[in-house]
């Protein structure tokens, strides 16, 4: 997956989604820098929920709380 410059303006832009570390890095970039259209284009709901327990630790409290408040599946994944 290659992210556009408006998301990944510095450093790595191409991500092998089969590599968990790169997947988490890409999701972090999209969650922190993306807009609504970016979320639906670059994030997969199942992967987001599956990796949320680790991913949430990579985000600031405000971003983490906003996503968990909006999507109950993420709250459940965080509690598991």
pLDDT in tens, 43-80: 999 999 999 999 999 999 999 999 999 999 999 998 87
> For residue 61, what are the domain limits?
20-79
In a domain, 56, yes or no: yes
- Return d(Cα 52, Cα 68) in angstroms, integer: 10
pTM, two decimal places? 0.92
Distances from the Cα of 57 to the Cα of 2, 5, 24, 28, 68, angstroms: 24, 25, 11, 10, 13
In a domain, 5, yes or no: no
In a domain, 12, yes or no: no
Q: Which helix (H) or strand (E) holds 44?
A: none
Both tokens of 74, joined, read 């993420």
Q: What total of structural domains would you count in the chain?
A: 1
């Amino acid at each position: 997956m290659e992210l556009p410059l408006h998301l990944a303006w510095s450093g790595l832009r191409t991500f092998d989604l089969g590599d968990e570390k790169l997947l988490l890095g890409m999701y972090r970039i999209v969650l922190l820098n993306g807009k609504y259209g970016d979320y639906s284009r670059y994030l997969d709901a199942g992967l987001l929920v599956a990796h949320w327990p680790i991913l949430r630790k990579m985000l600031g409290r405000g971003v983490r709380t906003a996503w968990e408040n909006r999507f109950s599946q993420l709250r459940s994944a965080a509690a598991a």
